[in-house]
Every structure is written in structure tokens, then in C-alpha cells.
Amino acid sequence: MPETGDLTYNKEMLNVEQPNGSITITKDHIQTYCDATGHPISQDESGRIEVPVNMLNVFFNRSVQVGSDVKLEGASVGLNAGRSIEVFDQVFEGDTLDRSAIFKEVYTKTGRSGTMAFEVWEILFKNDNGELVARATDSMVYRAPGKPGK
């Protein structure tokens, strides 16, 4: 079993909401997304182009001023372990959304591949009125590297 050691992280940043920029979603963005994924382009009754829910995942970004600094000794590989996205209001072409990021949780699990650390972040997307329109929750896992070529 690969050896991993102590888990350290920046405890002060737990549950602190930090702004991390805004995005304006254009028709070109939606077209590129739909071309790449096969998602059909949808419009509402007034002809506004709807932003596919998971397109917001493309704009998931947890680059913040003060990071979580999660480190598990010996765990040099970081992988996305899961993601959840919840939408509270439809987003349309031309909408500008403010993003913020919150370091929510860190914990370890030990399995066949050794001890792994899981780091959970939440990204909030808010509209011009400051209303929450979507929330994405992301889990990263850090582990020791596997054998090459698998």
C-alpha cells in the first residue's frame, strides 16, 4: 500500500466565501458548448437562448486569493472525485454571473490504494441582483500515484 502521511490545510479558510470573478455567457460560448457536447440548443418562449445547466461547470473556478493549502504527505496526484450542480433559476445568453468560492470541508479515507484526502469546495453563481442562481459542489481527491500506464 502506498505510504501517505500527515494531512495539513488552512483551517482559517474553512467556510469563508471569497469572490472569484464574473462571467458573461455569450451566444458563442453556448454554441461552442453545444457543438462539443451534443446538447441541443434550447430557447424560452421569447426566443432567449438557455444556458445548459452543466455549462456552468465549464466556468467552475476555485482560484481564490487565499487557498486551502490542502496537503497530504506523499499524495502527489489530485483527481476530481465528484461534482454536483443545483440550479435555482434559468440562466440565459448574455447574463453576467458573479462567482464566489467557499472551501467547505476536508477529510481522509483509507482504502486499497492507501490514505486519500478529499477536499470539497462550493462555487456560487449569483445574478446582477445578488440572487443565487446555481451552486456547484466539487470534491477533489489526493492520493499517491498509481503504477504508470494503467
Partner 1 sequence: MDDISIDVGDELDLMDWVPDKDMVASLMSLSGWLSNFGDEKDDNEESNDSPMSGPNRFTDIKSAQDEGFRGLIVPGNYGMMAMESAVKQWIPSSNIKKLDCVFRQPLMQGDQVQVGGVVTDRVEELDKVILELDLYIMRDDGQRPQGGTAIVEIGSI
Number of C-beta neighbours around residue 22 at 10 A: 13
d(CA 108, CA 71): 11
- Which of 4, 49, 51, 55: binder of partner 1 (CB under 8 A)? 55
- Of 11 and 86, CB closest to partner 1: 86
Look-up: residue for cell 449569483?
A: 126
CB of 49 to partner 1, least distance (A): 14
- Which of 15, 65, 130, 150: binder of partner 1 (CB under 8 A)? 150
3-state secondary structure 34-79: HHHHCCCCCECCCCCEECCCCHHHHCCCCCCCCCCCCEECCCCEEE
Instruction: Write out the H or E segment, with its range, that includes residue 80.
Output: strand 77-87
- Of 102 and 140, CB closest to partner 1: 140
Nearest to 140 by CA among 67, 87, 86, 88: 67
CB of 27 to partner 1, least distance (A): 13
- Which of 42, 43, 96, 110: binder of partner 1 (CB under 8 A)? 42
63 binds partner 1 (CB under 8 A): yes
Q: Which residues bind to partner 1, rule: CB under 8 A?
A: 29, 32-33, 35-40, 42, 52-55, 57-61, 63, 77, 79-87, 90, 138, 145-150
